[in-house]
Amino acid sequence: MGPGPSDVHPRVLAASARPTIGHLDPEFITLMDEIKGLLREAFKTNNAYTLPLSAPGSAAMEAAFANLVEPGDKVIVCINGVFGARMAENVRRMGGVLITVEDRWGEPVDPEKLRAALVSHPDAKVVALVHAETSTGVCSDVKTLCAMAKNSGCLTIVDSVTGLAGVELRVDDWQIDVAYSGTQKCLSCPPGISLITYSQAAAKCVEGRNTPVQSWFLDLSLLMAYWDGDGARAYHHTAPVNAMYGLHEALLMVHEEGIENAWGRHRDMHQRLLAGLDEIGLTMVVDEKYRLPQLNVVSVPDGIDEAKIRRDVLNRYNLEIGAGLGVFAGKVWRIGLMGYAARQENVTLCTNALRQALL
């Protein structure tokens, strides 16, 4: 119950342990096609360019920027936690011109600040923001922010590593040009794979580049020749076959539950956790309006050694909860209710383990 990796469902673990077949085997190609379809369903998109990447979420972030940003391109990055700051670092390394819109940790991205940045920088090409900030437990209003960016002629990049399948996300309706996520949060897959989708506008931007994408491994055009070829797929890299078995199973489980039902289950378990934490006098850092149900950031009471509590619940109850990052280090715990972990027995275990540890 940390900020991820989350508990992996036994069905997913079992799928991952099936014998490895070739990454160009006809049966594997069928699996790839099914994964693409299921991913579109989870992202709520019709984007043709929707695929898993053979590397974790950090690489998906890099893929988003590496494909859309050329040296000299102006990029507005909204920062309200660790992952916004990491986006900014990516823009710098791509040789982009970085404009930042900053909000305090624990607050969502402020649409008025983005509006001002768009007015000051009418030549901006891309607006990037984090949907579900894993470092703070805050959900930003992606729909409103992306509408503003699109009205100003920008492409939009949205990090939903912690968001996908845990909270409402609608790639097409919300005008997101590139969204990416990870397997190890609300999909309850082992970490190591990421998921990305590019709109037609984003794909057109990649096709029209003046310079090659600086990363060969993350170059969308090369990846799509493997993921979207007709008949014989072009060899790019060797896909992580067993991880794809696991991803396929996890996406199938989301499909069986229904994506809206998955969102609802996360909300429901979040409410139950809040009630339990309230009973033992623990309070939340983030205002009710912006809270992520799947990532609960709790204030450490005064005088408590937070690391000792985490060690206690790990050693006594086999329960992991997360520490704070950055400015939140030492001040908060991060309690995940992600995917398979979002169920009643975990809520009960967590609140009672904390109750005992805090005695």
Q: Is 342 an interacting residue with respect to a copy of itself (CB under 8 A)?
A: no
How far apart (Å, rounded) are the C-alpha atoms in residues 163 and 171? 12
Q: Among residues 1 and 145, whose Cβ is nearest to a copy of itself?
A: 1
Residue span 168-197 as binding mask against a copy of itself, x where in contact by CB under 8 A, dash where not = --------------x-x-----xxxx----
* 276/261 Cα distance (integer angstroms): 23
Considering only residues 230 to 269 of the shown chain, the ones binding a copy of itself according to CB under 8 A are 235-243
Binding-residue pattern over the window 10 to 29 for a copy of itself, x denoting contact by CB under 8 A: ---xx-xxxxxxxx-x----
In terms of CB distance, is 64 or 146 closer to a copy of itself?
Answer: 64
| CB of 2 or CB of 84, closer to a copy of itself | 2
Least distance in angstroms from the C-beta of 144 to a copy of itself: 29
Which x/- pattern, by CB under 8 A, does the window 303-332 give for a copy of itself? -----------x-----x----x-------
What is the size of the binding site for a copy of itself (CB under 8 A)?
Answer: 54
**Of the residues 50, 57, 114, 128, which one makes contact with a copy of itself according to CB under 8 A:** 57
Whether the CB-CB separation of 66 and 215 falls below 8 Å is answered with yes
Binder of a copy of itself out of 157, 213, 282, 337 (CB under 8 A): 213
By beta-carbon proximity to a copy of itself, the closer residue of 146 and 254 is 254
Between 44 and 236, whose beta carbon lies closer to a copy of itself? 236
Write out the chain in H/E/C secondary structure.
CCCCCCCCCHHHHHHHCCCCCCCCCHHHHHHHHHHHHHHHHHHCCCCCEEEEECCCHHHHHHHHHHHHCCCCCEEEEEECCHHHHHHHHHHHHCCCEEEEEECCCCCCCCHHHHHHHHHHCCCCCEEEEECEECCCCEECCHHHHHHHHHHCCCEEEEECCCCCCCCCCCCCCCCCCEEEEECCCCCCCCCCCEEEEECHHHHHHHHCCCCCCCCCCCCHHHHHHHHCCCCCCCCCCCCCHHHHHHHHHHHHHHHHHCHHHHHHHHHHHHHHHHHHHHHCCCCECCCHHHECCCEEEEECCCCCCHHHHHHHHHHHHCCCCEECCHHHCCCEEEEECCHHHCCHHHHHHHHHHHHHHHC
Residues, the chain: 359
Which 102-131 positions form the footprint of a copy of itself (CB under 8 A)? none
**Min separation Cβ 184 and a copy of itself, Å:** 6
Out of 34, 92, 151, 271, the only residue in the binding site for a copy of itself (CB under 8 A) is 92
92 vs 104 by CB, closer to a copy of itself: 92
Closest separation between CB of residue 235 and a copy of itself, Å?
A: 7
- What is the smallest separation between the CB atom of 271 and a copy of itself, expressed in angstroms? 25
Sites of contact with a copy of itself (CB under 8 A): 2, 4-8, 13-14, 16-23, 25, 54-59, 62, 86, 89-90, 92-94, 182, 184, 190-193, 212-217, 235-243, 314, 320, 325
